[in-house]
Amino acid sequence: MANVKAEPETKDNEFNEMKTLGEIAGIEDLMAVYGEYQNLMQIVTAYLKETSPKFLFSTTDSTS
Amino acid sequence: MPTWGEILQELRKVGNELKRAPFDPVRRKYLKKLHDYTGRNIILYAANWTQPSSVPAEFIRISDEDIQGLMEVVSGLSGRHLDLIIHSPGGSAEAAEAMVKYLRSKFDHIRAIIPYAAMSAATMLACAANVIVMGSHSFIGPIDPQVIVHTRLGIRAVPAQAIIDQFNKAKRECRGSPKNLAVWLPIVEQYGPALIKECEEAINLSKALILEWLTKYMFSEEENAKKRAQLVATRLAKRSQFKSHSRHIDREWAKKIGLKVENLEDDDTLQDLVLSIFHATTHTFDATPAVKIIENHLGRAFIKRVQQQIVVSQGPPKGLEEEQQ
């Protein structure tokens, strides 16, 4: 969950597991098959760069 | 509760670290976490229908090709319990029936989890579960069938019951006053030879299907299962009550209708994980050409993009495969 803190070791394991899951065939492979990989990466980069939540009110405490 | 913005921030971070599109890894991470938490198989069935887009309806509705998607994601799963996360506008009742038949041949206990909305045939799909899990922000919809009619104004989806009602009205108005025939004729002419009968049968089919499923699964342990199922089926199919096929039935209304519904908020962790999956999925739809995703907690997926489809078929990574057994 985005708002649950994890210990560093658990975080590493979680990250590695996510990386492994991400390596299973998915959208990138799908687009590559149709020769649209570069197009996908351009759209993805633009989305992640330009889309921002306008307002974010959260009780998540990241100070401790 | 994770927000859309928090998942977006996580996607950015993961994208920077992995140097690749982060949508599959993040979505799959939460599917796996949900499986770890519940101990049940997880299948996500989601379509890009609530985001503003120009995706044609035939790409996102429930259709026979979804069986192929389910075959992909059921493969390799063990255990007879399933959490089916549904986010769909509905589609073909016949395809939904085929999906239920297939899923029920594989799983004895199914929870239908609705993070936001499962309408029409997707509501029927949820009615084949043992229980439906909904948040206070979740919706199901009426199950009265829509008929695709080719009119002079173009192709339109028209409620089957509305066609029957209109035809009966025409009969009434023309019976005593044949001159009214001239007014009604251009409308009635468009109905075709068997449309009224087809409408009646479509209405009967949707009711019969959920009557069968509710009796067999959701209310199976109740003495008056069939009676209760009959009541729910009649209420969900009653067009005159809902007025619109797109009417959103919230959790409390669904309970009043008689469905067995659990509150998503009753389990904070479950809610966090389900909403994380939902937000990660809608980000995927927003940022990629994917329009339908059928995916399990092992990372196996059937993904449909706007123009063409492909079965993404590859075994889970070794570590995960071993863990699943």
* Confidence bin at B319 (pLDDT 50/70/90): very low
Residue B318 pLDDT = 46
* Confidence bin at A59 (pLDDT 50/70/90): low
Residue B118 pLDDT = 96
Q: How far is CA B44 from CA B82, B300, B311, in A?
A: 11, 11, 15
- Asked if B6 and A60 come within 8 Å (Cβ–Cβ), the reply is yes
- Asked if B18 and A19 come within 8 Å (Cβ–Cβ), the reply is yes
- Asked if A27 and B14 come within 8 Å (Cβ–Cβ), the reply is no
* Confidence bin at A2 (pLDDT 50/70/90): low
User: Which residue of chain A has the CA closest to B292?
Assistant: A27
**Cα torsion angle, B72, B75, B76, B82, sign:** positive
ipTM: 0.72
Give me the residue from A22, A36, A47 closest to B18, CB to CB. Answer: A22
pLDDT above 70 coverage of chain A, percent: 67
DSSP 3-state of B32: helix
Phi (first) and psi of residue B132, to 5 degrees:
-110, 135
* Confidence bin at B322 (pLDDT 50/70/90): very low
Model pLDDT for residues A6-26, shown as the tens digit of each residue = 567 777 888 999 999 999 999
Task: Tell me which of A48, A49, A57 to substitute to probe the interface with B (most B C-beta atoms closer than 10 Å).
Answer: A48
Model pLDDT for residues B194-230, shown as the tens digit of each residue = 888 989 999 999 999 999 999 999 999 999 999 999 9
Which chain B residues are within 8 Å of A15, Cβ to Cβ? 17
Distance from CA of A5 to the nearest CA of B (A): 12
pLDDT above 70 coverage of chain B, percent: 94
Residue B179 pLDDT = 86
The H or E element that residue B305 is part of is strand B301-305
Residue B152 pLDDT = 72
Span of A29-33, B118-122, B220-224, B282-286 with lowest mean pLDDT: A29-33
- How many Å apart are CA B19 and CA B34, to the nearest integer? 25
The radius of gyration of chain B's CA atoms, rounded to the nearest angstrom, is 21
Q: Is some CB atom of chain A closer than 8 A to the CB atom of B18?
A: yes
Kindly report the number of other CB atoms within 10 A of residue B291's CB atom. 22
Distance from CA of A7 to the nearest CA of B (A): 16
* pLDDT value at B139 more than 80: yes
End-to-end CA distance of chain B: 32
Mean pLDDT of B109-136: 97
- Asked if A15 and B17 come within 8 Å (Cβ–Cβ), the reply is yes
Q: Is some CB atom of chain B closer than 8 A to the CB atom of A32?
A: no
Whose structure tokens read 């209420």? Answer: B235
How many CB pairs (< 8 A) connect A and B? Answer: 131
Which chain A residues are within 8 Å of B290, Cβ to Cβ? 27, 30
Give me the residue from A1, A25, A31 closest to B2, CB to CB. Answer: A1
Model pLDDT for residues B31-81, shown as the tens digit of each residue = 999 999 999 999 999 999 987 777 888 889 999 999 999 999 999 999 999
Q: How far is CA A35 from CA A32, A39, B293, B302, in A?
A: 5, 9, 20, 19
* pLDDT value at B249 more than 50: yes
Q: Is some CB atom of chain A closer than 8 A to the CB atom of B219?
A: no
Window 295-314 of B, Cβ < 8 Å to A:
298-301, 303, 305, 308, 310, 312-314
- Asked if B308 and A51 come within 8 Å (Cβ–Cβ), the reply is no
- Asked if B25 and A18 come within 8 Å (Cβ–Cβ), the reply is yes
Nearest by Cα to B59 from B321, B308, B311, B323: B308
